[in-house]
Amino acid sequence: MTTSPQPGDEPSYIDYEAFLDPAFSPAAFANALVVSTNNPNDTPLDLATPLSRVLFDAQEINTHIDVLTTRSAVPLLKYTQQQTEASKHIITELDSQIKSLNDSYRQLEREVIDKHAEADEVRQVALRLWETLRLGRAVGRCLQLGRQLEVQHSEYEFAAGATASGKEDHRALVRCAYTILSLREVLDRKAPGEEGHGLNRVDAVRSLQDTITTPIERSVREASERIVREFSISSTETFAQVDDTKSRTMSALTTLYLLSPTLGLRPEKWAPKNLIQSLETYIRGALQGSITALSRSLGQLPTLDKALAEVMVKCQNIVALEVILESTKPPSHPLLQHPTSQHNLLQPLLSHLETGSLVSFFWRTMASSLANRVQDIVSRGGVVARTLRTNKATVSEAIRQAIIKSSQVPSALSGPKGKGRAEANWDREVAVMVGSIVNNLR
């Protein structure tokens, strides 16, 4: 092996650079040592010589370390002493700094942390007091609105029971509806931070809902539905009577519009459900009665005029209802964030029924039901079928006249819109109705 002399030391035959090389591999070094001390053709290999070489090198390195340690003992001890003294000095300085830091922390704890803890307790108390105050105000507002609702409902009931004619203060229904909406506005806002948060845990509010709000809302809705259900305008009524009926109906329609559910519905998808259901029930009821009367009269032609007169009355009522709906604008709804795009109360009903006119819907629906009745009469045959075939022209003309006359607006409701409706062309409805009878008599 080549020697590498060390600075300040005696020359050494050990190659320190090879051992200090980062790429040094013990296995490669051992292999080179065995190959250099043996003939590759010898069997077996002599491992005693390379092993002695390695042990000798290790002993040489150990001796060299002892020499270096002995020679440098004094400088090493001095260096260690200096490091120890420096460490003690640092510890001494640190002790004073740590003591000062601890004193500062204790002062900070007294002046800030303890006071902050006290302030946090005060803050918690203030928050709870504020929450109690907010809840108390909300409960007070609910109770005040509940009392207001009781008074308004009693006004309606008193007016209905006190007058001999049974005319109630229908405007009280609208006032009740707005008060109910004010209560809904508070009670439905249950999210944290909103006015109604926590009200469901207050016994007084639960009692208010169970004993006042819910029963009165049901009573107001039923009274409005009854007014719509009983809606009727006779040709013999005076203008004052018609105007009173119109006002009562508009109040009922407005009330049903306002009381329609809004919770959980998107504003653009919202529709006055209660109003639409009540009006559809009224129209379906009129249709059912008309279909029954007219179907029966087709089997007994002498009663046709009476049946058509009954149907005409129902159609006139639907015409009058359509005029009132068309002239009534949707009221402002406190719970709808965006104003509705509908210009009157007729539009949502027409959209629901998928028709352009209530009168057209009335006659076309009736025609689809009468076709089955006529087919049944024809299939049975006999005198009734022959009589109906013989008088089909008379029946057709009577139905045509009934449609034209009943589709006109009552004179008490006539106005610019009424005149336009009176001049409307009902030929399609006439054709559908007459066709449902005549086309099935062949």
Q: What is the pLDDT of residues 333-350, one digit of tens each?
A: 888 876 667 788 899 999
Lookup result for tokens 């001999």: 164
Is the separation of the CB atoms in 326 and 347 below 8 Å? no
Question: Average pLDDT for residues 355-365, to the nearest whole number?
Answer: 90
Q: Is the pLDDT of residue 5 over 70?
A: no
Lookup result for tokens 């190659």: 15
Cβ neighbourhood burial of 272 (10 Å; 0-12, 13-18, 19+)? buried
| Residue 6 pLDDT | 46
Q: How far is CA 352 from CA 148, 271, 347, in A?
A: 35, 9, 9
pLDDT band at 255 (very low <50, low <70, confident <90, very high): very high
Query: What type of residue is 268?
Result: E
Mean pLDDT score across all residues of the chain: 84
Is the separation of the CB atoms in 278 and 256 below 8 Å? yes
- Tens of pLDDT along 378-389? 888 788 888 888
Q: Is the pLDDT of residue 3 over 50?
A: no
| Residue 442 pLDDT | 65
Q: Is the pLDDT of residue 191 over 60?
A: yes
pLDDT band at 285 (very low <50, low <70, confident <90, very high): very high
Q: Is the pLDDT of residue 359 over 80?
A: yes
Least confident of 101-115, 157-171, 187-201, 382-396: 157-171
| Residue 114 pLDDT | 82
Q: Which residue has the higher pLDDT, 164 or 428?
A: 428
- Tens of pLDDT along 297-307? 888 888 888 99
Cβ neighbourhood burial of 235 (10 Å; 0-12, 13-18, 19+)? exposed
- Tens of pLDDT along 58-100? 888 888 888 888 888 888 888 888 999 999 888 888 888 898 8
| Residue 418 pLDDT | 47
Whole-angstrom distance, CA of residue 267 vs CA of residue 196:
21
Q: Is the pLDDT of residue 8 over 50?
A: no
| Residue 252 pLDDT | 92
Whole-angstrom distance, CA of residue 31 vs CA of residue 323:
113
Whole-angstrom distance, CA of residue 200 vs CA of residue 159:
34
Q: What is the DSSP string of 20-78?
A: H-TT--HHHHHHHHHHHTS-TT-SS---HHHHHHHHHHHHHHHHHHHHHHHHTHHHHHH
Relative orientation angle of helices 304-327 and 358-380, to the nearest 10 degrees: 160
Whole-angstrom distance, CA of residue 17 vs CA of residue 2:
10
The 3-state DSSP class for residue 198 equals coil
Is the separation of the CB atoms in 108 and 116 below 8 Å? no
- Tens of pLDDT along 422-432? 456 788 888 88
Tell me the CB-side half-sphere exposure of residue 431, using CA atoms within 13 A. Answer: 4
Lookup result for tokens 């009740």: 176
Is the separation of the CB atoms in 206 and 149 below 8 Å? no
- For the record, the structure tokens of 78 come out as 């001095």
Question: Average pLDDT for residues 201-205, to the nearest whole number?
Answer: 87
pLDDT band at 361 (very low <50, low <70, confident <90, very high): very high
pTM: 0.69
Lookup result for tokens 């009663």: 303
| Residue 44 pLDDT | 79
pLDDT band at 9 (very low <50, low <70, confident <90, very high): low
